[in-house]
Structure 1
Amino acid sequence: MPRPPRPRFPGAMYHVTSRGVRKADVFTDARDRLRFQQIFQNVVERLEWRCHTYCLMTNHFHLLIETPRADVSAGMQRLNGIYAQWFNWRHGFEGHLFDRRFGSVLVEGHAHLLELTRYIVLNPVRAGACGHPGEWRWSNYAATIGERDRPAFLETAWVLSLFSQEPKRARELYREFIAAAPPRYFGRVSGSGTRTRPDQPYPYTPGKRSASRLTSSAAGRPTTFR
């Protein structure tokens, strides 16, 4: 049975995930991750994407991206394709690096967005790679709270504005929000008996689909946390 087409429209925001074939590693060291970030920056600039949150793990990655045009599939094919060619050249491999179909979930509201920002940066903690998201070099967390330089492809201002219009206060509230994550974000069994894994998409079931499109430039001011 053919797979259903992805929802695509200008100004959409997506949680995008991609993992290695048979869960094999797609990043082996810092050089791999730095090269991936360089290629991603090129895609962001070329397609005018906005990246609000990201995390590079070992056998997969997460991106929270906003696409001014309906080009998420084209952009991901370019990103994964160019990186896979470089990775195979560097390591002497052949064949597919990533699963053929990347995962994408349409972000459907500010509540969904905020939970995604927390879920993504907690991936390395959930996987046991570190004890705190600030210890993981390969996510946006440290840059968002102002403890590390921001990569050129990352935008932090809009997510922070959801917490407060005052930058220092926004960073404090963002930090508190991440720290207050419930048990399900760490792969523990929830009341429903389900368990999440670091390489799974965010365990969120949206309610009735919103008729509006969530974008950082959308009209109206989001609710802030005080």
Structure 2
Amino acid sequence: MSRRPRVWFPGAIYHITSRGNRRSIIFNNQEDYDRYFSIIMETQNEFPFQLHAYCLMSNHLHLLLETKTTPIQEIMWTIQTTYANYFNKRYQVDGHVFQGRYGAKLIDSQKYFVDAGRYIHMNPLHAQIVEYPADYKYSSYQYYVNGNPPPFLNISKTISLFPGPKSYQFFIEKSSTTTI
């Protein structure tokens, strides 16, 4: 039975999730995280898209990604395949790095957009890795709080939905029980 194609249209926004095969580690160290970020930048150069939020955990990841003119399938195929090839070569292993097909929930409202961002940014706190979400260095939240986002991250759309960065920070941190 074939899979249903992903819903896509120019400007579609998705909450992307992907987990390591058998819940295995997909980011072992700083070099792995840095490589994933560089793959995101390379892919943005080839297929322009906006990345509004991210959180890379050791065995899974979350992206809040907005397409422009390229279907999500091409963007994610490029990112995931390039990273899997890097990972297998670096660690001299074969086989799947990621568990099945990545998840892609279509964001269909402004409320869902900001709720997905909060869920992504609170992930390290819920996993009890940090006491404060901006302390997790593989999450985009630190740039929402401290400024100076990397070139591959666009925080302006999210911030524009609030009176300012401090209002967004309050929105994120006021509830540590939000689920999507």
Q: Same fold, TM exceeding 0.5? A: yes
Q: Label 1:35 to 1:52 Cα distance change in 2 as closer, same or farther (>3 A).
A: same
The 3-state SS of whatever aligns with 2:55 is strand
1:173 maps to 167
The 3-state SS of whatever aligns with 1:14 is strand
Supply the AA of the counterpart residue of 1:103.
G
- How far apart, CA to CA, are the structure 2 residues paired with 1:183 and 1:138? 21
- Residue deviations 1:15-53 (CA, integer Å, cap 9, x gap): 111111111111011110001000011112211100111
1:152 maps to 151
Structure-2-length-normalised TM-score:
0.95
1:69 maps to 69
The structure, 1 or 2, with the larger RCO (C-alpha pairs under 8 Å, 6+ apart) is 2
2:103 maps to 103
Aligned pairs (5 A) from 1:13-92: 13-92=13-92
- How far apart, CA to CA, are the structure 2 residues paired with 1:18 and 1:130? 21
* Cα contact 1:16–1:102 (8 A) shared by 2: yes
1:7 maps to 7
1:184 Cα deviation (Å)?
A: 4.2
Q: Label 1:141 to 1:182 Cα distance change in 2 as closer, same or farther (>3 A).
A: closer
1:149 Cα deviation (Å)?
A: 3.1
* Cα contact 1:11–1:70 (8 A) shared by 2: no
1:222 maps to none
* Cα contact 2:48–2:70 (8 A) shared by 1: no
1:191 maps to none
Q: Which protein is bigger by CA-based radius of gyration? A: 1
1:161 maps to 160
Task: For structure 2, list consecutive stretches of 5 or more residues without a partner in the other structure.
Answer: none
Structure-1-length-normalised TM-score:
0.76
- How far apart, CA to CA, are the structure 2 residues paired with 1:126 and 1:2? 35
Supply the AA of the counterpart residue of 2:140.
N
Supply the AA of the counterpart residue of 1:183.
T
Supply the AA of the counterpart residue of 2:116.
L
1:121 Cα deviation (Å)?
A: 0.6
The 3-state SS of whatever aligns with 2:10 is coil
- How far apart, CA to CA, are the structure 2 residues paired with 1:83 and 1:148? 27
- How far apart, CA to CA, are the structure 2 residues paired with 1:79 and 1:44? 10
Task: For structure 1, list consecutive stretches of 5 or more residues without a partner in the other structure.
Answer: 165-169, 186-202, 204-226
